Amino acid sequence: MDFQTARISIDDDSFSPRIKAGDHLVVQVRDDVNVGDEVLLRLKNGMRSVGVLQGSDEDFTSLRNLNSADVVIYENSDIVAIYYIVEIVRAPLARN
């Protein structure tokens, strides 16, 4: 399969500690994400959410938060795209 990949820069620590400001996510737009995959959701309101896919049906998609056992449920009508996280590229460490 030929997947389109993109690199997304993370500007803040909202996904910390797993993903930190300055890191980059390498993602693929895929239709075949599965339960247990680490994904990034892009929402209509401009927000992004990262988590482990817990389930999806025709109305709802649920993600487990990366930092806790909390599960967040999104209406599919609020989701613009689901990206499969291929890799987390760490920001270089600052040198003194």
Homologous superfamily, domain 5-89: Umud Fragment, subunit A (2.10.109.10)
Domain residue ranges of the chain, discontinuous segments joined by +: 5-89
Note the pLDDT tens digit of each residue in 44-89.
998 888 888 998 888 888 888 877 778 889 999 999 988 998 888 8
Instruction: Extract the tokens encoding 39.
Output: 């994904």
Tokens 């590229």: give the residue: 89
The DSSP code for 96 is: -
Give bridge partners of residue 79 from the DSSP assignment.
43
Specify whether the CB–CB gap between 59 and 76 falls below 8 A: yes
Q: Is 22 left (phi over 0), alpha (psi -120 to 50) or beta?
A: left
- pTM for this prediction: 0.78
